[in-house]
Chain A
Amino acid sequence: MPTADALAALDNAPVDFDPWARNRVAEKLARRDDFWDRLGDFYITMLGAAIIFSYAAGLAFAFADQLRSASDGGLIRDGLGVVPGSSAASTLVMLGLLGGLSLIARLGPAAVDRAQGFWWLSLPVVRTGFLARLLRQRLVSTFAIGAFLWLPIGYGSVMAGISPGSALGVLLGAVTLGMLFVLLSLLAAFSQTRGRGSTFLAVLNWMSAAVLVAYLVDVLLRVGGSGTMEWFWFSLPSRLPVVAQAGAWWVPVALIVAALVGFAVLRGQLQRIPSAELISRGASSAHAGAALALLDDKALGSAIGAAGAAGAGDSKRVMLVLERNKQRGGDPFSRMLPASWVRGPFSALIRAELLVLLRTKKTWSGLLAGWSVPLAGVFAVQGASAVVLGILVIVGAILAARAASAAAAQAADVPALDSIIPLNRGAVRQTHALVAALLLVPWGICLAAFLGWAVHLEGTGFFLMLGLGALTGIGLAAGAVRMAFRPALDWGSVLLMSAVGKAAGPMIQHLLYGYDVMVLSVIGLLAAFVLVPVPPTLVLLAVLVAVVAWAAGTSTAVRSHAHRSQL
C-alpha cells in the first residue's frame, strides 16, 4: 500500500484504462456456456414481438377502418366534429412523442447501473468511452421501440386506406419514428450534460400543454369559421412518419444524418454528466425494468414518477412556498380540511387520504387528462364514431381513475399505514374507495354533462345522463382501489400452471385487475350516447353495475390461484 508521501505529487491526468473492455473479456468467458440459453431468449423475444405485432396490427386496422367510416356522420351534434383526422392524429403522435421523451429523460438516457456506478465511476479514467457505448445501446433500443410502434399503426392505416403508402412506405415510416425517438433521446442526454434534467422535464410538460392549447384554439377557430391551425399540425415533427410513409425516403435519411452528427457532438460532452445523475437515472431504469419484467404497471408508474421527482430538486420557489406554509400553519388544503373536523377513525382516514390526493400534482393532471381525451375526440371529425368515442371515453376514465388511486396506492405499498387505523380491512378498503369517489363522482358528472350536450340530449334525458356520470364515478373509484390493491403475482403458481398450459388466463386476469372494473363502470355511460334518448332502465342497470363494481373493488378476498394472498 503506497503511503501518503508517495501520493503527494498526484496529477489531474486520467489513467489509460478501459473498464468496459476489461469487463467484456471476463464476461465473455463467463457467458460462453450460456449461448444456447441466450439464443432461446432471443427466439422467444422475437416470437413475442411477432405476436404483439399481429394483435396490434389487427387492432390498428380495425380502428383505422372505424375512423374511415366515422366521417359518414354519427352521434355528435352538427358543427362540433371539425378537426380533420390528420390534424388529430398529428396531435396524438406529438403528445406521444413528448410523453416518450419525458419517459426517456426520466430514465436517462445516459445512465449507469449500480455496479458500474460503484466500480467504474470511482476510477480516474475518461468516462467518454464507456458512457458513449452505454448510450449507444440505449439509442439502439429506443430506435427499435419507436420503429416497432409505428409498424402496426402504419400497416393498419395503409390497409384501411386512410394513409397512402406501401410495405416499403410503412418501413420508411417506422425508421422515421425510430430515428425521431433517437434524436429526442440525444436531446435529453444533452440536457443531462448541462445539468438541466429537471428543467428539460418541465419544458416537456409545458410543450404538452401548449399542444393541447393549440388543439383547443384550432377547435375554436374552426367552429367560429375564422380559420384553422392546419399549418401548425403540418409543421410538427409528428407528421414526419406519415410523410415518409407516403414515399419521402429523404426524411429518414436526413434524420439518420442528424442523429449521427448529434451523437458525435454529444460524445465529447458525456464526461460532464455528474456521477450522481448517472447513478440516479440508472437506478430509475433498473426499477422500471424490474417492474416491466414482473408485469407490474403500478410499480412501473411509481418508478417513472419517482424518477421525475428525483430529478426535480428543490427550487427557491418551492422552498419559499414551504416556508410560507410553515408560517401559516399548513398548506391551503390542510387549512381547508382542519384536523379539528376529525371525529373518529373514519374521518381521520378520509382527511388524510384527501390531503394526499389534493396535494398530489398527478391527481389534478390525471383528472384533467381524463377529460381532455374524450373532449378532443368529440371535436374531431372521427369522434362521431361510437367506437372511436367509446374508446376515448374509456381511456379518459382510466386516466382519471388511476389519478384518483394515488392515496390508495400509497396505502397498499405500505400496509402498516392501514393497520395503524383501528378499522377492519374491509372498512379501510371502503374508505379508500369513498375518498376516490369524492373526486371521481364530480368528475364523472362533468364528463357526462359535456357528452350529453355533445350528443344533443335535453330535458330528462340530460339529467339521466348526469346520473349515469355519477354512477360511473362510483364504479371508477372502486376500480381505482382494486387496481391499487392488486395482489402480487405468485410466480411459483404461474410456472406450475404454465407446465399444464393454464397460465395464460390467470396472467391476463392479473394484467386486467382493476382495469376490468373501470371498464365495466363506463359501460352505462357508453350505452347512453349510443341509445339516445337515454332509457330510464339504463340508469337502473348502471346502479346495478355500480353496486357490483363497488363490491369487486372493495373486496379483500383473493380467489385467483395466480395471486398471493393480500396483506
Chain B
Amino acid sequence: METTHRELLRASGLVAGYGGNDVCGPLDLVLEAGQALGIVGFNAAGKSTLLRTLVGYQEPVSGESVILGSFTDDSSFIYRKAVSVVFDEDAFFPSLSVEEHLQLIAGGHQIEEAQAAVEAELKFFDLTAARTSYPHRLSSGQRRRLLLAAALLRPSLLLVLDEPEQRLDPVMRAALGLRLRRLADAGTALLVITHDPEFLTMVADSVLLIVDGQVIPASVQDGAASIAHS
C-alpha cells in the first residue's frame, strides 16, 4: 500500500526548548504512516516540549520539523485535516453539551454519517449517559474522555496524544490502547507520550527515550523498563 510507506513527519537536527534554551535534542526522525512512536522520560525531561515542537505548535530552538512534506505549523487546511492533537490541557464551551462538542468536530471535518460516528464515540468512551451534560457537570475523567473522543472521531493521518491514559480507569485504558494499536495497524501514524509501561507496550512499536536532554531511540521493551524503573 502506498500510504503505509508515506512519510508524514521528518525532523532534522531538531532541538526543543524555551526562550532559546535547549530542553532536549537534537533529534533526527522520520515517521511514516502506520508507525506508532512512544515518547518516554522522567517528569520535566521535555517530552511535551519535544512533542509540541515536532508538530509545529512551538518554535524549535534549532533544526526543523516538517509535516506532510512541506508544513511546519497548522496554518494550512491539509495539516488540520491530517493531524489530530490532544495535549494535556482541556478547554470546553460552557454552553455546549458533550454531544454538541462532538457534533462540532464531526461537522467541521464533514464526516459522513456524522451522528452515527458521534454515537459510536459516545458509546466507546462511555459518555452516552452524559451526552446532554455541560462540561462543568463532568468529572475530570469524563472531560479527558471527551477530548480523546473528539480526537478519534475525526479522520487523521497523524494522531498526537500527550499522556492519553491519564485520568482513565484501567478498563478504558486497555480499550484505548487496543484501539490505538488497531489504528496504527490500519495506517495511522501515532506519536504518544505515556507514563504507563503496559500502555506503551500495547500501543508503540518504537520509542524515543529522553534522558538528560538527549533523545535516544530505543526498543519498546527498553522504554517500558525505563518507565518502570522511574
Q: Do A and B bind each other?
A: yes
Contact between B74 and A275, CB atoms less than 8 A apart: yes
Interface residues of B, dominant DSSP: loop
Residues 1-18 of chain A: 1 if any B CB is under 8 Å from the residue's CB, otherwise 0? 111111110111111110
Tell me, yes or no, whether B125 is within 8 Å of chain A by CB.
Answer: no
Q: Is the CB of B3 within 8 A of A2?
A: no
Top 7 nearest A-B pairs (CB, nearest first) are A4-B187, A123-B108, A114-B91, A30-B95, A124-B80, A27-B95, A12-B78
A506 is an interface residue with CB less than 8 A from chain B: no
**B142 touches A (CB below 8 Å):** no
Q: Tell whether A274 is near chain B: CB-to-CB under 8 Å.
A: yes
Alpha-carbon separation in the docked complex, A22 to B107 (Å) = 9
User: Given A23-B104, A275-B73, is A124 in contact with B93 using a C-beta cutoff of 8 Å?
Assistant: no
Chain B neighbourhood of A319, CB < 8 A: 20
- Given A10-B78, A14-B77, A319-B20, A119-B104 contact (CB < 8 Å): yes
Q: Is the contact region of chain A dominated by helix, strand, or loop, or is it mixed?
A: loop
A137–B84 Cα distance when bound, in Å, is: 30
Q: Separation in Å of the A473 CB from the closest CB of chain B?
A: 35
A500 interfacial contact with B, CB 8 Å: no
Shortest CB distance A332–B (Å): 20
Question: By the criterion CB–CB under 8 Å, are A4 and B33 in contact?
Answer: yes
A25 to chain B, nearest CB (A): 9
C-alpha spacing A314/B61, complex, angstroms:
11
Q: Is B2 on the interface with A (CB-CB < 8 A)?
A: yes
Cα distance, A30 to B95, chains bound together (Å): 6
Q: Is the CB of B78 within 8 A of A11?
A: yes
- How big is chain A's contact interface, by range? 35 or more
Chain B stretch 72-120: residues in CB contact (< 8 A) with chain A: 73-78, 80-82, 84-85, 89-97, 100-101, 103-105, 107-110
User: Is the beta-carbon distance between B108 and A276 smaller than 8 angstroms?
Assistant: no
Asked if A10 and B73 sit within 8 Å, CB to CB, the answer is no
Check if A7 sits within 8 Å of B157, measured CB to CB: yes
Q: A23-B96, A27-B93, A31-B95 are in contact. Are A4 and B34 (CB under 8 A)?
A: yes
Between B1, B76, B80, B93, the greatest number of chain A beta carbons within 10 A of the residue's beta carbon is seen for B93
Question: B33: nearest residue on chain A (CB-CB)?
Answer: A4
Residue among A7, A11, A113, A276 with most chain B CB within 10 A:
A7
On chain B, the residues within 8 Å of A5 by CB distance are 1, 3, 186-187
Give Cα A31 to B93, complex, Å: 13
Taking a contact as CB atoms under 8 Å apart, the answer to whether B107 and A10 are in contact is: no
Specify which chain B residues have a CB less than 8 angstroms from the CB of A19 in the assembled complex. Answer: 104, 107-108
Contacts of B217 in A (CB 8 A): none
| Chain A residues engaging chain B, CB cutoff 8 angstroms | 1-8, 10-17, 19, 22-23, 26-27, 30-31, 113-125, 272, 274-276, 314, 318-319, 322
Measured between beta carbons, the chain A residues less than 8 angstroms from B104 are 19, 22-23, 119
Closest to A119 in B: B104
Does any Cβ of A come within 8 Å of B4's Cβ? Answer: yes
- Give the residue among A16, A114, A116, A122 with the most B Cβ atoms within 10 A: A122
Which residues from B are CB-within-8-Å of A322?
20
Q: Is B2 within 8 A of A276, CB to CB? A: no
Of residues A4, A113, A123, A314, which shows the largest number of chain B Cβ atoms within 10 Å of its Cβ? A4
Q: How far is the CB of B140 from chain A (nearest CB, A)?
A: 16
Enumerate chain B residues within 8 angstroms of A6, measured Cβ to Cβ.
155
Most B CB contacts (10 A, CB to CB) among A1, A16, A30, A118 go to A1
In Å, the complex CA distance between A564 and B152 comes to: 45
Does B57 make an interface contact (CB < 8 A)? yes
Number of residues from B at the complex interface, CB < 8 A: 52
Asked if A314 and B77 make an inter-chain contact with CB atoms under 8 angstroms apart, the answer reads no
Q: What separation, in Å, do the CA atoms of A124 and B1 have in the docked complex?
A: 26
B188 at the interface (CB under 8 A from A): yes
User: Does B19 touch A at the CB level, under 8 Å?
Assistant: yes
User: Does A22 lie within 8 Å of B109, measured CB to CB?
Assistant: no
- Complex Cα spacing A318 to B186, Å: 48
**C-alpha spacing A113/B89, complex, angstroms:** 13
B6 located at the interface, meaning its Cβ lies under 8 Å from any Cβ of chain A in the complex: yes
| B contact residues vs A (CB 8 Å cutoff) | 1-4, 6, 19-20, 33-34, 57-58, 73-78, 80-82, 84-85, 89-97, 100-101, 103-105, 107-110, 134, 147, 150, 152, 155-157, 183, 186-189
Is B110 a contact of A7 with CB atoms below 8 Å?
A: no
Q: Check B81–A26 contact: CB distance below 8 A.
A: no
B89 / chain A contacts, CB cutoff of 8 Å: 114, 118
User: Known: A3-B187, A118-B91. Contact between A17 and B107, CB under 8 A?
Assistant: yes
Q: Known contacts being A8-B3, A119-B101, is A15 close to B108, with CB within 8 Å?
A: yes
By a CB distance below 8 angstroms, the chain A residues around B57 are 275-276
CB nearest to A14 among chain B residues? B77
Separation of A566 and B100 alpha carbons in the complex (Å): 43
What are the residues of chain B within 8 A of A30 when measuring CB–CB? 95-96, 134
B76 touches A12 (CB 8 A): yes
* 21 A-B contacts (beta carbon < 8 Å): A3-B186, A4-B3, A4-B186, A7-B157, A10-B82, A11-B78, A14-B77, A22-B103, A23-B93, A23-B104, A27-B95, A114-B89, A118-B147, A119-B101, A119-B150, A122-B74, A124-B78, A124-B108, A124-B109, A275-B57, A322-B20
Please name all residues of chain A whose beta carbon is closer than 8 Å to the beta carbon of B105 when the two chains form the complex.
119, 123
Contacts of B110 in A (CB 8 A): 15-17
CB distance from A216 to the nearest CB of B (A): 36
CA distance A10 to B78 in the complex (A): 7
A235 to B10, CA, bound (A): 55
Shortest beta-carbon distance from A359 to chain B in Å: 15
Tell me if B2 and A8 are in contact (CB < 8 A). yes
CA distance A194 to B110 in the complex (A): 31
CB <8 Å contact, A7 and B82? yes
A15 touching B109, Cβ below 8 Å: yes
Query: Do residues A123 and B6 form an inter-chain contact, with CB atoms below 8 A?
Result: no
Cβ of B108 and Cβ of A115 under 8 Å apart?
no
Q: Provide the residues of chain A in CB contact with B34, threshold 8 Å.
A: 4
Give 11 new A-B contacts, CB below 8 A, not counting A19-B108, A22-B108, A124-B77: A1-B186, A5-B3, A5-B186, A6-B155, A10-B157, A12-B78, A120-B108, A123-B80, A125-B108, A275-B57, A322-B20
Taking the closest CB of chain B, its distance from the CB of A196, in whole angstroms, is 16
B90 partner residues in chain A, CB cutoff 8 A:
118
Contact A26 B95 (CB under 8 A): yes
Residues of chain B within 8 A of A15, CB atoms compared: 77, 81, 108-110
The answer to whether A12 and B2 touch (CB under 8 A), given A19-B104, A124-B109, is no
Contacts of A276 in B (CB 8 A): 57-58
How close is A464's CB to chain B, nearest CB, in angstroms? 49
B residues less than 8 Å from A26 (CB atoms): 95-97, 100
Q: Which residues of B sit under 8 angstroms from A27, Cβ to Cβ? A: 93, 95-96
Separation of A493 and B90 alpha carbons in the complex (Å) = 32
Asked whether, in the complex, the Cβ of B155 is within 8 Å of the Cβ of A115, the reply is no
Residue in chain A with minimal CB distance to B112: A2
From residue B161, how far is it (CB to closest CB) to chain A in Å? 14
